[in-house]
Amino acid sequence: MKRDGWLAAVIRRCVLGAGMTLVTTYPWAAERIVNIVAFGDSLTAGYGLAANEAFPAQLQRALIAKGLAVNVVNAGVSGDTTAGGLARLDWSVPDGTDAVILELGANDALRGFDPAITRKALDTMLRRLQERKISVLLCGMVAPPNMGAEYGRAFNAIYPDLAAQTGAILYPFFLTGVAADPKLNQRDGLHPTAAGVAVIVDRILPQVEELIARAKGSRWR
């Protein structure tokens, strides 16, 4: 008999023996909360938005509405690069984290960083999280067209390559459905409005649900 079943049986015998009414709902039967860290730059942090409009907050509400027990932490830092993310990874993703949504690289591309540097930083982060048995959803980025075709090919290949190599779940482009749409972006043309974030959340939900299922399978056996 499993531990919970054995303990439930003991409680049942004791309670019924005392002539008391048995309540068959036990604390350990409640669904455990999945702790997710949204780890990224201003697109995660919610630049120009209220805290409850940022990606992590909107995502948590959407997941709870689907009946999922989750806690999504906002670990976004505006202006962060993959090198900056690597430097703060260990303390930004605390013990007890079940899954990470990794969204970094946009600032690397905007600043023209060598794609090899971006690739190495992301690869190191993915492997560190893997060593900690934390499931990862890797959010892809696309290089701006003004960086040239050669740069674009090298940069854009980073995310699918690393997902294939590490087994991370891939969401190919974080701003799908939002990029370049003036109705869904703030005046700078780079950062989504609250409505733009809602589009991102709606589109990424299937991958996040897959992430949650994977986290439960890998950490709660």
Dihedral of alpha carbons 159, 211, 121, 175, sign: positive
Residue 188 annotated to the active site: yes
Q: Using CB atoms within 10 Å of the CB of residue 108, give its burial: 0 to 12 exposed, 13 to 18 middle, 19+ buried.
A: buried
- The pLDDT value recorded for residue 22 is 34
Alpha-carbon span 15 to 160, nearest angstrom: 57
Q: Tell me the pLDDT tens digit for each residue of 24-64.
A: 333 333 579 999 999 999 999 999 999 999 999 999 999 99
Burial of residue 194, with CB atoms counted within 10 A of its CB: 0-12 exposed, 13-18 middle, 19 or more buried: middle
Contact 81, 108 (CB under 8 A): yes
Tell which wins on pLDDT, 194 or 10: 194
Question: What does the pLDDT look like over 54-70, one tens digit per residue?
Answer: 999 999 999 999 999 99
pLDDT at 120: 98
Among 42, 80, 98, 135, which one carries the catalytic annotation? Answer: 42
For residues 193, 39, 103 and 179, what is the CA-based torsion angle, rounded to 10 degrees? 0
Active site residue: 80, 98, 108, 191, which one? 191
DSSP state of 79: T
Whether pLDDT at 218 is above 80: no
- 89: closest CA among 56, 123, 128, 118? 128
Is the model's pLDDT at 132 over the cut of 70? yes
Dist. CA 60–CA 99, nearest whole Å: 13
Q: Which helix (H) or strand (E) holds 108?
A: helix 106-110
Amino acid 184 reads: L
pTM: predicted TM-score of the whole model, two decimal places: 0.86
Q: Which two tokens stand for residue 207?
A: 């991958």
Q: Give the separation between CA 84 and CA 77, rounded to whole angstroms.
A: 9
**Catalytic-residue membership of 191:** yes
pLDDT in tens, 61-106: 999 999 999 999 999 999 999 999 999 999 999 999 999 999 999 9
**Secondary structure (3-state) at 28:** helix
